[in-house]
Structure 1
Amino acid sequence: MPLRRTPRTRTLLAVPVCLALLGLTPVHPPTPAVPTPDAVLPLFVTEGRAPAAALLTRGESGSHFVLAGQGIARADHFRAGSITKTLIATLVLQLAAKHRLSLSDTVEAHLPGLVRGAGNDGRALTLRDLLNHTSGLADFIKDTRAVVPLTPLEALSVALTHPPAARGRFSYSNTNYVLLGMVVRQVTGHSYAEEAERRIITPLRLTGTSFPGARTTLPSPHGRGYAADGSDVTELDPRVAGAAGELVTTLSDLDRFYAALLSGELLPPRWLREMLDTRAAHGAYGMGLFPQKLPCGTTVWGHDGRISGSYVRTAATVDGRRVLTFRVNTDGFANSGLERDLLTAAFCPRTP
């Protein structure tokens, strides 16, 4: 229907014209500026109650380091928790690209008779199900609280005391990646730590990254790690998490790894697309990576890692050109949206 131009309508339409003739423009309320990452990071200490926080960004213009609080430094080694899963998934996809295995292989085909009990059946599960957390296998860490060192078989036996969740639905479980670590050994004859060293860590020159096995101490330099109650938990047996969370690394190594992964240095294009495919997990998770859509519409990819004494988050643009890794030296900080705010500050454009 055509707009009926009443006297009031004509008056309103004339206002911008008059302003233009006077050389003026209508005044609009200013758009709130997005804060910088440098302004957001200290909030992890003042509001989140972390002893210290640090971030390192990597982009085409170079790197940028920010520190808040006391007790950690740029070059420190720290425990990266579930960020380990990105490396394990990369290993499995590299083996698939070399035709050493298929993502449609059943768990039974590689680990015969191992996944049985309480309704769990490895004959019905594929490696793809493990990678994207749709296997339904229970999470052993819900029982152990990530404080009991276990062998992979012991971790699996804990999980198999529970009936599975509905297969095909996304249900995050550390048990999936413990099994994938076992599959890597079965296929290659070497541990996942050895294969990661040969295929990822050495080629990328990640000199601060390691799989410590049962070593409870951190390499130097390192700061301290604190539990939610404030107790010092710097020394920790990494077997509490195994292939699901054993990794020790640095800020710069994580930035380098995710930049290399997403830019295509570690996987052929087909297999990188597989890694980023979230359809099976209904948008929640790919394979060792998950997306997060920010308020400005930008989607970043990465993973987080929580283990006693440490929380870490890496996020990157899908092409790997911009990467941010931040960490706090406690697993008990109050997040309450701070992580989202930090990523928004880093990856969303700021208004003047």
Structure 2
Amino acid sequence: MSRARASGMTGLASALLALGLHAPATAAAEVGPGDVQQAINSLARTDGVVGAIGELYVDGRRKGQGSAGTRLLGGKGGRIPPASRYRIASQTKLMEATVVLQLVGEGKLGLDDKLSSLLPGVAGHDHVEGAGKITVRDLIRHTSGIPDFAEGGRFDVFDFTTAYEPIDLVRAARALPQGELGQYRYSTTNYVLLGMIIERVTGHDRAAEFQRRLFAPLGMKSTYLATKVSDQIKGPHGHGYHPDAQGRPRDVDRLNATSYGAEGAISTAHDVSAFFRAFNQGKLVPPELQKQLPRPFPELCGGTVSSASGGLPGISSVTFSSADGRTQLALAATLKVDNEKAMAVGDAMKKAAAAVLCPGQ
């Protein structure tokens, strides 16, 4: 099973939190735990879902939680603990962009710095076409034209033994048609390169910088960045499944973090809510730098709530957050179908969020 088929996930442009909105607090402050559980019950009934969890936070305090479905396929394993860990997938990219923009704010990096000067080996070996023109800003905003390495179908979802270096993923992208510089084209390769830049500029590995700059300061004690060839989620959690070549669902509780690393953060509803609360309240990146991030249209509650979402084989996750940063609803659903067939899950998550955050609308 190629990763290209598995990666029918929402991209960063539709995943990033809308910034700079000035709106009143949502109705979430009045929502009770039963409302969250009812929404999760509805989400778990969606075709392709094995189990679903969610937690609602207002001003950092949990106001509701829910769990439905089961931890394992076939109704086995009991319910998933609502506070358990799950893969946040492409939401990791917003965290990485935040780290990069912090480095820019510290003067260690420039938005207009060229890829060729930051990673001369990449340019010298022609691993990226037009590296002398591509900037840090282009990588963050997916306007570099660099293809997504996953589109080549080289990386197998069920390969838990092959260790890849980031440059291997970049080389795989080089074999694919280059897009036009300045035009939006969602590509995880951009964030592989940003990770390489973080490590070169700081002298530390990416996981250490995430821990030092985000996880530790924000009290995200249950969050970590997966880095190993065969990474499993720590502690009790829901298992996701992905169809093999015969269409049979196979457990993908393990994923190869050396090819999925750009999307590799593992977190909880509490922790990911802490990140979005701090981010949306301007505590992580100065406002002038926040504007460098893509700005999707707000989705819910009359434009006061937006979402950050991600998908990997076996998992779909989304965090809804109010524009003022006070309210977050974090949802995760384990799957038994591939992401392309699970688009309805995203719709169900949005419906669940609307029921909790803006009832009556």
Indicate the residue corresponding to 1:350 in structure 2. Answer: 360
The answer for the alignment partner of 1:239 in structure 2 is 258
Instruction: Measure how far apart 1:93 and its partner are.
Output: 0.5
Closer, same or farther: CA 102–119 of 1 in aligned 2, 3 Å: closer
Structure-2 residue corresponding to 1:109: 117
CA distance in 1, matches of 2:95, 2:156: 20
Residue 84 of structure 1 deviates from its aligned partner by 0.9
How far off its partner does 1:291 sit?
Answer: 4.3
Q: Deviations over 1:194-242 (max 9, x none)?
A: 1111111111111110112115222113332222442211122211212
Structure 2: which 5+ runs fail to align? Answer: 1-34, 72-79
Cα distance change of structure 1 residues 335 and 41 upon mapping to structure 2, 3 Å threshold:
farther
**SS class of match (1:187):** helix
For residue 305 of structure 2, the aligned residue among 275, 300, 305 is 300
Structure 1 residues 230, 221: CA separation in 2 closer, same or farther (over 3 Å shift)? same
| Aligned partners of 1:82 and 1:245 also within 8 Å | yes
Separation of aligned partners in 1, 2:238 and 2:260: 21
Q: Given that residues 36 and 55 in structure 2 are in contact (C-alpha distance below 8 angstroms), is that contact kept between their aligned partners in structure 1?
A: no
Instruction: Tell me the residue number matched to 2:77.
Output: none
Q: Compute the TM-score of the two structures, normalised by the length of structure 2.
A: 0.77
Change (3 A) 1:118 1:106: closer
Q: Measure the CA separation in 2 of the matches of 1:154 and 1:63.
A: 44
Q: Give the superposed CA RMSD.
A: 2.3
Shift of residue 142, structure 1, vs aligned partner: 1.7
Whether 2:102 is the aligned partner of 1:94: answer yes
- Paired residue for 1:227? 242
SS of the equivalent of 1:41 reads helix
Matched, 1:84 2:77: no
SS at match of 2:49: coil
SS at match of 2:237: coil
Shift of 1:146: 6.1
Range that drifts further, 336-345 or 76-85: 336-345
Pair 1:139-2:148 in alignment: yes
2:169 — aligned with what?
A: 155
In structure 2, distance between residues paired with 1:54 and 1:236? 21
Query: In the alignment, residue 258 of structure 2 is paired with which amino acid?
Result: R
Q: Structure 1 pair 98/350, CA: closer, same or farther in 2 (3 Å)? A: same
CA contact (8 A) 2:50 2:336 kept: no
Q: Which amino acid aligns with 2:205?
A: S
Q: TM-score, normalised by structure 1?
A: 0.79
Tell me, in whole angstroms, the C-alpha distance in 1 between the residues paired with 2:297 and 2:227. Answer: 29
Match of 1:26 in 2: none
- Pairing of 1:30-41 with structure 2 (within 5 A): 38-41=37-40
Length, aligned pairs only: 303
Cα pair 2:169 2:189 within 8 Å, conserved:
yes
Q: 1:232 and 1:56 mapped to 2: Cα distance?
A: 25
* 1:61-120 deviation digits (Å, cap 9, x = unpaired): 743101111212123222221111011001001001101111111111101141465981
Unmatched 5+ residue regions in structure 1?
1-35, 276-284
- SS state at 1:123 partner: coil
CA distances 1:311-347 after superposition (whole Å, capped 9, x unpaired): 1111211221111110011273634221332232233
Q: Counterpart of 1:310 in structure 2: which amino acid?
A: I
Instruction: Please identify the structure whose Cα radius of gyration is greater.
Output: 1
Q: Is the CA contact 1:118–1:163 (under 8 Å) kept in the aligned structure 2?
A: no
- Counterpart-to-counterpart distance in 1, 2:272 and 2:303: 21
CA pair 134-112 structure 1, distance change in 2 beyond 3 A: same
Partner amino acid for 1:227? H
Greater alpha carbon shift after TM alignment, 142-151 vs 323-332: 142-151
